[in-house]
Structure 1
Amino acid sequence: MTDEMNMADMLGKMVDMQKKMSEAQDELAKHEVTAEAGGGMVKVTANGQQRITAISIEKEVLDPDDIELLEDLIIAGVNKALEEAANIAKGEMARAAGSFLPPGMDPSRFGL
């Protein structure tokens, strides 16, 4: 009977963890970060799910003779925004998973 109770307890905890992770994903969609490149000439906004939600480009950077500059600024802005969003996601998931780990266990050991 003890094994059955332990299994039921484990399954219950797994269901709770799935629910917390789902809630964390919903919260991540609400978090937004904005990164700048070229001194603010290009601004990229991403949400905590690491999806780009907006890109803003100042007119001064639009030079038909220097498309490479614009491309580089967009790439830099996107990479910065995604990095910041990934950090938010990592923290949020670690918090969600942390309540299910044994005391003293570091969530970063699991990539969280």
Structure 2
Amino acid sequence: MKGNMNNMMKQMQKMQKKMMQAQDELHEMTFEASAGGGMVTVAANGKKEITDVQIKEEVVDPDDIEMLQDLIVAAVNDVIKQVDDKTNDTMGQFTKGLNVPGMF
């Protein structure tokens, strides 16, 4: 019985190490989304930190700031969804079959 418990603990430690490695790799990834046919492009890393925003000059209209704001919001929301989807795909492999509340 004791040997079985030690074996299970070793397996848990291996899984934890793989999870940490996958999370580190995910945090290093770059995601990009655009809106308005590429008029606004937003980049983020796997930590959901916005790392870059590109706005094409022709979309900047002082008489229609709302459109530019909407494009920025759409691009930011899209890039965050990409990060969430990748996080769920990557980290979900470690929790398949486990019913652990609050885990990814």
TM-score, normalised to structure 1's length?
A: 0.76
Residue type matched to 2:88 in 1? K
CA separation in 2, counterparts of 1:51 and 1:88? 15
**CA shift for structure 1 position 92:** 1.5
Question: Secondary structure of the residue that 2:53 maps to in structure 1?
Answer: strand
5 Å-filtered alignment, 1:60-79, equals 60-79=58-77
- What SS is found at the alignment partner of 1:49? coil
Runs of 4+ in 1 over 3 A off after TM superposition: 108-112
Letter in 1 for 2:23: Q
Deviations 1:27-71 (A, max 9, x none): 112222211101101001122333222111111122222221111
Q: Deviations over 1:62-99 (max 9, x none)?
A: 2222221111111100011111121111221134x17x
Structure 1: unaligned runs, 5 residues or longer: 99-106
**Percent identity of equivalent pairs:** 44
Which stretches in structure 2 are left out of the alignment for 5+ residues?
A: none
The alignment status of 1:7 with 2:19, answered yes or no, reads no
- Of 81, 86, 89, the match for 1:88: 86
TM-score (norm 2): 0.81
Residue 50 (structure 1) aligns with: 48
Amino acid at match of 2:18: K
Distance 1:47 1:24 in 2: 14
Equivalent residue pairs, number = 101
